[in-house]
Every structure is written in structure tokens, then in C-alpha cells.
A and B are shown apart, each in its own frame.
Chain A
């Protein structure tokens, strides 16, 4: 049995942790944007757009995140013939650039994991945003219309801030869930924190130590994220009476 925490494993774990945080930040932002976008489309007056957005939500919400990640990482490239596949997903200037920037040997898998997580979390967020908009007083929207707000102005000044503010506690929970879901990227060979923990266990056979470290780190990440998002929530509600319509 070897030493468990050698300098190499420490730097491996730190690199993994960095990637986990990066994945969390990127997918939080992208899924927020997707969620707001799709959630808004679900409020559209056009029935076709509304049902398309509804289908998007139901499909990507009801398929496990792990399946979506495996699909985009491993299954999707196999739709292309071998040489095209190699060029499209692994051997082109964009991927080379990503490798130099991020230090990942196969950046496509990380991209695929981000894509899967974004669709999954985005679908959940769309539903939360729509529910948030639903709690807004009808008069507020009517007043904005009366004052001459067009669709864009209504969205930007009324629906977006109001909906996000109302849904923010639920959005917080979902974003923390998304952070935990980044561990699923370990399945498609993305060297994020959980993957480096598993690698360290394989090297040292010290499962209990590394699993404990992993649990502590994820607990810390959850707690820190909850604290940060709580501050955002307070900021969003600044100058308002702290009464939530729920």
C-alpha cells in the first residue's frame, strides 16, 4: 500500500476540482440562458412555438442527465463516418485551441458533458421561470402594456426581473443539483473532481480516505454555492418587502 496523499495526487485532485468548478460555472450560465429563453417561448402567443418549447422541456427533463451526457459524448459522434468523425470532434483547430487553453486531452467530451447538462438543467429552469412569471400580478403586466411597452420591453423590464426574482429560491436548488450532476461527466472520461478521486483510489487502494475527501469537498461546494446564491437572492430583493408570493 502506498502513501495516499502524495504531491502528485494533491495536484491531480486540485486540477479536478478546478475543472468541476469550471463546469459548474459554465453550465450554470448556459442553462440559465437556455431556461429563460425556452421558458419565455412557452409564454408565446403562437401555439406552435409554445408547444415546441413544451416538448423541449418534457423531453430534456424526463431523460436522466447521465443518459444525455453519454449520448452526446459517445453515441452522437458515431453518426458520422470514421474520418469525418475524427476531424469534426477531435482533430480540428477549435479542439486543438481548447486543448491548449484548458489542458484537456479530449476537450470534445467536456463539451458534450456541458451540452447534456445545459439541456437537462435548462429544461428544468424553463419550467421554474415560467412558474415564476405565473406568480406575477396580472395588473403589473397589463400596466406595462398600457404604458406602451412592446413585447421586448415587457420581457426585459417586467417578465425577466419579476420571473427570476420569484423563482430564485427554486433556481438555487436546481443550480446546486446541477453542480452535483457535473460528477456524471466522469463517466465520459472528463477528468473532473469525481474522476480524479476515482483515479486516486485506483492508484493507492485507499478508498475510504479519498471518498471522505470527496464527500467533504462536495459538501463545501454545495454550502458555498448556497451561500453565494443566497446573497444574489438578497440583492435581487433589495428594497422590497420580504414577502414571497407562494
Chain B
């Protein structure tokens, strides 16, 4: 029992922060990967969602295939494909770094899901509100940026935070190209030493607990934010974008 505790105490700093002298790894890297995938993914998703509802038919088709493609294949396969493409020649100046491949794959994957959420959110904006903004002189881009996007972001918040938690858990599959996040770190800590076999259960229980704590905490925080919007902010949330932008439109 005591050697179990010793082993865990020795490896816990690695599982949390990675190995000293290297770039941050472990749980910190898992969180960073998820944040990068979600942040950049959201920017890409806004563009894809706009293209999905574009007037040009070919643009719509292109955006739909984008979503269909990246939602239709397992993330673990996408990671391998991107890594293969990056490794076979320097793309975007990324010289064969697993981390770069992982981020690109996570962005593509996440943005496809986020685009669907954004599209649904945009459709929830009352038509009257959009028309009104157009009537008082807003250009389509202004209406999109100042009315539709802020309004629908509130509607989308639960779905987006759910997607965020899912992506955080999904970062575990980048272990296939050896990015030193939590799952990879667990494998490194355990190594191929047969003598470490007794520590497998304790280590993977700890890894599971670490994922659980972050995912559960974020979901509770998101639920709180959601309730706050529902409680008092509905009227204000409708008023803020219009009041702030009234003079600019």
C-alpha cells in the first residue's frame, strides 16, 4: 500500500505539470490543448456557420462538406491524418511537431461541431429584430456582428460549454502522436517496466479523477452561468446590443 502511495506522490507532479526541463505537459497541456482548440475553433466556426447560410450555393455546399467531413471521422484518425500531412512536408512552418498537428486537428474537429451550434443559435434570433436592425440602416455585416452574434451567443452558451467539456476529454486521443498531455504522461510514467504493473490501477484512477475534476467543475460553472442568464438577464441581454450600437448603426 505504501509503495502505491509513494509511486503516486512521485508521479503526481508529472501528471499535473509534465516533466521538469520540458515544456508544460500533463493536465496543464490537456487544458491548453482544449482551450486552443476551442478558441481558434470558435473563430473558424463563425466563418463556417456564415458560409453554411450564405447566398452562394457552392459556398453552402463547401461549408456543409466541411462540417460533414470533420464530424464524420473519429478524432483519433483525424489527428493521425493531420500529423501525416504535416510530417510529410513543412506546412505553415510547422516542422514535424506533434503539438502543432494536435492543435490543427482539434481546431478542425471542434470547429465542425461549433459551426452547427452557431448555425442553430443564429436561427433562433427573432426575424423581427434582424429586420428592425436592417431598417434603421445596419449593413448585413453590422447586423450580424452587433445583433445576431451577441444575441445568439447567449442562446448557444449551454451547447458551447458542453462541446468544450467534450473536447477537453477528447484531447486524450492525441496520445497516438505522443503529445505530452495527461494520457501520454500517464503512459510515460508507467513505462514498459513490468515492475510497474501493480501501479496501473492507481495511476489510471488518478488520471480519470483529474479529467473528472476539471470536466465536472467546468460543467457546474457553465450551469451557474446559464442560470444567471435565465434569471434576470433576459431583458437586459436583449437591450444591451441594441442600446450600445444604436448610435453606430
Contact = CB atoms under 8 A, between A and B. Distances in A.
B132 interface: no
Given A70-B204, A211-B81, A78 B172 contact: no
A15 to B, nearest CB: 18
Nearest to B207: A67
Contact of A67 (B75, B84, B204): B204
A70 B212 CA distance: 16
Nearest to B169: A64
A62 B216 contact: yes
Report which residue of A75, A198, A219 has the largest number of chain B beta carbons within 10 angstroms of its beta carbon: A75
Interface string A213-242: 011001100110000000000000000000
Contact of B169 (A63, A70, A76): A63
Contact of A208 (B69, B84, B204): B84
Contacts of A218: 72-74, 77
Contacts of B207: 67
A88 interface: no
Q: Name B's interface SS.
A: helix
Given A76-B201, A78-B201, A67 B172 contact: yes
A215 B72 CA distance: 8
A211 B77 CA distance: 8
A215 B73 contact: yes
Q: Name A's interface SS.
A: helix
Contact of A66 (B84, B88, B173, B215): B173
Contacts, number: 93
A122 to B, nearest CB: 16
B64 interface: no
Contacts of A70: 204
Interface stretch (A33-41, A133-141, A161-169, A178-186): A178-186
A74 interface: yes
A57 to B, nearest CB: 11
Contacts of A219: 68-69, 72-73
B169 A62 contact: yes
B27 to A, nearest CB: 12
B169 A75 contact: no
A67 B219 contact: no
Contacts of A207: 84, 88
8 contacts: A63-B169, A67-B207, A75-B200, A183-B77, A194-B77, A208-B88, A218-B73, A222-B73
Interface of A: 58-59, 62-68, 70-71, 74-76, 78-79, 180-181, 183-184, 186-187, 194, 197-198, 207-208, 211, 214-215, 218-219, 222-223
Interface of B: 68-69, 71-77, 80-81, 84, 88, 165, 169-170, 172-173, 175-176, 183, 197-198, 200-201, 203-205, 207-208, 211-212, 215-216, 219
Top 9 A-B residue pairs of the complex, sorted by shortest distance between their CB atoms = A75-B200, A180-B74, A62-B215, A222-B72, A64-B169, A183-B74, A64-B172, A219-B72, A63-B208
